Amino acid sequence: MSSETSSADDTKDPQIPSHPMYTKEPRSYYTPQSINPEINKSTTTEEYFIFRPSVVQQAVQNLTGYLSEDEDGQLQSSWILAQISHWGTEREVLVFLCEHSFLICYYNFLEMGSCRLFRIPLNYIDTVIWGPLAYSKMALNKREGYALQVKWDKLRAPPSFLSWWNPWTEDLSYVNLIQHPGVATQEDLRDMCQLEQFKEKLMEMVKLEHQHSPLPGTANGPLILNRPVQIDTSIGLVSLVNSKVQLGYAKPRWGFGF
């Protein structure tokens, strides 16, 4: 009996470990263990993609390749702001201040590639309005805070009726800029989000460009006004939906990013 037992032990494969996890038929009876490690609650994730590390730097690097030395000159500064339309809808934008132009960049922070650039020569800017946002009494969505309205080409004819009632029209000779609703954790990004500092820098550069390259009818430089910036929406259902869901900002929503 002892001899048979010894013979059976000798036939075992020494490379197969003896462990209770490995059953006789592991494919039939083994269930992978589920491990739920604790997450460090002190680690914060940026709510907006634009404020995540290196995202803005990469976007600025990608976009500077589209600048024109002749039309724009040297890039002076870049800013993280938001644009609010005449209907009260918002979207985040990158803004570039160059020697000769002011560029608004609509950048896809999900794909990190597709974009549109909207160029305004600095000497075309004839009016700058700074003040609190103002809405009609019937407006459902009223955003608080200050806005900067930049106007150009004051001799242009007023927009058509269809353009005026189109919340996504680009056939307007002005743009409204507001401060981005997010708060960056990195100090250098927080500096890029200061709307009032951007306003001071923009007006300084516009005045300088008007001196160097004045246009007919703008010899006295831009008109600078301190008054409320009027948003023309009457009831604003589109604005209300846009604001509640923040459709104009790249951020994770319900487990998805858009």
Q: What is the CATH number of the domain that holds 179?
A: 2.30.29.30
Helix, strand, or coil (residue 94): strand
**DSSP code of residue 4:** H
81 domain residue, yes or no: yes
32 domain residue, yes or no: no
Taking only the tens place, the pLDDT of each residue in 133-165 is: 998 888 777 889 999 999 998 778 777 777 777
1 domain residue, yes or no: no
In which domain, by residue range, is 55 found? 49-245
Tokens of 83: 């644009």
Taking only the tens place, the pLDDT of each residue in 79-96 is: 999 999 888 889 999 999
Helix, strand, or coil (residue 50): helix
Radius of gyration of the chain from Cα atoms?
29
**Residue at 134: amino acid letter:** A
Which residues, listed in sequence order, are joined to residue 146 by a DSSP beta bridge? 132
Q: Name which of 95-99, 102-106, 157-161, 242-246 the model is least confident about.
A: 242-246
Q: How many domains does the chain have?
A: 1
**DSSP code of residue 73:** -
8 domain residue, yes or no: no
Helix, strand, or coil (residue 123): helix
Helix, strand, or coil (residue 126): strand
21 domain residue, yes or no: no
Q: Name which of 47-56, 74-83, 145-154 the model is least confident about.
A: 47-56
Which strand (E) or helix (H) includes residue 17? Answer: none
Q: Which of 254, 247, 250 is nearest to 113 (CA)?
A: 250
188 domain residue, yes or no: yes
CA 2 to the chain's CA centroid = 79
70 domain residue, yes or no: yes
Compute the mean pLDDT over every residue in the chain, rounded to the nearest whole number: 81
CA 41 to the chain's CA centroid = 26
- Of the pLDDT bands very low, low, confident and very high (cuts 50, 70, 90), residue 175 is very high
pTM of the full predicted structure?
A: 0.77
Which residues, listed in sequence order, are joined to residue 94 by a DSSP beta bridge? 80, 105
Tokens of 114: 């597709």
192 domain residue, yes or no: yes
**54 CB contacts (<8 Å, ≥6 apart)?**
none
Do 85 and 167 meet the contact criterion of CB atoms below 8 Å apart? Answer: yes
